[in-house]
Amino acid sequence: MQTKKIRFIFQFMMFFATFFSVARAQTPGGLTASDLNSIVQKCIDLPGIQTFYPADGSGHLNQINIVNYPYVFPSGMTVSKDGQAVEFISNESFSKSPVAEYFMFRRIMQTGTTVKLIGNYYYTVSGNHLNKSIAIDYSQSAGVWTITNSTIN
């Protein structure tokens, strides 16, 4: 009887440990840092999202940010826009000091040589907090990722 009780408690604890580790931030598996760099760079450069990037008074783009949640990208990513490095922000830092404009990638799913990226771009216009949903399909051929379909709503 005591063994069954201990086993039940152990299984219960393992279930919650597994649940919370899956529910927390994840690193996209199966994709190299180079693959992720290319995929994210193409998302940042997507023509349909350019008009939503805020600029300062002189027309230079504000800092572009990516919140590392629910996906945590590897360190050393070299994504940039207009010569300025994109900043990858931890979820903890974002919670303490939120930024007004940022990307948050919800899913990155790989099947062989294809990837589907689903995320949001959050931005502010005249004090209104807005967002655009982004879905992008990529295909890889000879080591190069190309966008095969994209939707911005």
Please state, in angstroms and as integers, the Cα–Cα distance from residue 70 to each residue in 73, 116, 127, following that order: 10, 15, 26
Helix (H) or strand (E) holding 94: helix 91-96
Instruction: Give the span between the Cα atoms of 39 and 119, in whole angstroms.
Output: 12
**Strand, coil or helix: what is 86?**
coil
pTM of the model as a whole: 0.79
Taking the C-alpha atoms of residue 54 and residue 31, their distance in angstroms, rounded to an integer, is: 30
Structure tokens at 45: 């450069």
Q: Which domains does the chain have, with CATH numbers?
A: 26-152 (3.10.450)
pLDDT tops 50 at residue 11: no
3-class SS at 143? Answer: coil
* Averaged pLDDT for residues 7-24: 40
How confident is the model over 110-149, as pLDDT tens digits?
A: 999 999 999 999 998 888 999 999 999 999 999 999 999 9
For 46-93, what is each residue's pLDDT tens digit? 999 999 998 888 888 889 999 999 989 999 899 999 889 999 999 999
